[in-house]
Amino acid sequence: MGLKNKFFSNLSFAFVAQFISMIISLATNLILPKFLGVDNYSYWQLFIFYSQYIPFLHLGLNDGVYLRYGGKSFETIDKAKIKTQLLLGILYQLFFCVILCIVSWIAVDSSSRYAIILLSCVYFLFFTIQNYLGYIFQATNETSWYSKATILNRILFLAIMSFCIIVGSENCWPYIIAYIISQFASVLYSCYKGKTILTAPLISFKMGVYETKESIRGGIKLMLANIASMLILGCGRQIIDMKWGITTFGRVSFSITLTNFILTFIQQVGMVMFPMLRRLGEDKQKEIYELCRLGLFFALPIVFLIYFPAKTFLGMWLPDYTESLQYLALMLPICFFDTKTQMLCNTYLKVWRKEKILFLINLVSMLTSFLVGAIGAYVIESLYVVVLGMVFAIALRSGISEFYLSRKMSINIKMNYIQELLLVVLFMLTAWNMGTLNGFCILFIFYIILLIVKQKSLRAFIKKCHSLYKI
What secondary structure does DSSP assign to 378-427, as a single string? Answer: HTS--HHHHHHHHHHHHHHHHHHHHHHHHHHTT---HHHHHHHHHHHHHH
Q: How far is CA 441 from CA 16, 326, 336, 347, 447, in A?
A: 32, 19, 20, 35, 10
Alpha-carbon span 22 to 158, nearest angstrom: 12
For residues 114 and 108, the answer to whether their CB atoms sit within 8 Å is: yes
| Separation of alpha carbons 236 and 281, rounded Å | 40
What letter represents residue 294's amino acid? L
Residue 116 to residue 53: CA distance in whole angstroms: 13
Q: How far apart are the first and last CA of the chain?
A: 13
Residue 445: CB atoms within 10 Å: 10
- Which of 191, 198, 227 is closest to 60 using CA atoms? 227
What single letter denotes the amino acid at residue 271?
M
Secondary structure letter of residue 454 according to DSSP: T
**Distance, CA of 429 to CA of 419 (rounded, Å):** 16
Classify residue 366 as left (phi > 0), alpha (psi -120 to 50) or beta: alpha
What's the pLDDT score for residue 183? 92
Name the burial class of residue 63, with classes exposed (0-12), middle (13-18) and buried (19+) by CB atoms within 10 angstroms of its CB. Answer: buried
Angle of helix 143-166 relative to helix 3-36, nearest 10 degrees, comes to 20
- 353 CB neighbour count, 10 Å cutoff: 15
- CA of residue 166 relative to chain centroid, distance: 31
The pLDDT value recorded for residue 4 is 55
Residue 136 contacts residue 61 (beta carbons within 8 Å): no
- At residue 44, the 3 state secondary structure works out as helix
- Which of these, 61, 64, 68, 118, lies nearest to 93 by C-alpha position? 61
Distance (Å) of CA 238 to CA 101, 173, 210, 294: 20, 22, 37, 35
Handedness of CA 59, 61, 63, 68 (dihedral sign): positive
By the 8 A CB rule, do 155 and 24 touch?
yes
Interatomic CA distance for residues 137 and 195, integer angstroms: 12
Residues 365 and 397: beta-carbon distance below 8 Å: yes
**Phi, psi angles (nearest 5°) of residue 102:** -65, -45
Nearest one of 209, 348, 335 to 273, comparing CA atoms:
348
pLDDT in tens, the chain (471 residues): 455 555 556 666 666 776 777 777 777 777 777 777 777 888 888 888 888 777 677 788 888 888 888 778 888 888 999 999 999 988 888 888 888 888 888 887 778 888 888 898 889 889 989 989 988 988 887 878 888 888 898 889 989 988 888 887 778 888 899 999 999 999 999 999 989 999 999 899 899 999 999 888 878 888 888 888 878 888 888 888 888 887 777 778 777 777 766 666 666 666 667 777 777 778 888 888 888 888 888 888 888 888 888 888 877 877 776 777 777 888 888 888 888 888 888 888 888 888 889 889 999 999 999 999 999 989 998 888 988 898 899 999 999 999 999 888 888 888 888 888 888 888 888 888 877 888 889 889 988 988 888 888 788 777 777 665 555
Q: At what angle do helices 111-139 and 38-53 cross, to 10 degrees?
A: 50
pLDDT of residue 265: 64
Q: Report the distance separating Cα 48 and Cα 162, nearest Å.
A: 19
Distance in angstroms (rounded) separating the CA atoms of residues 358 and 400: 10
3-state helix, strand, coil in the chain (%, to 5): 90, 0, 10
What is the amino acid identity at position 461?
A: F
Q: What is the pLDDT of residue 468?
A: 56
Distance CA(332)–CA(115), nearest Å, equals 32
Q: Which DSSP category does 142 fall into?
A: -
Contacts of 167 (CB under 8 A, 6+ apart): none
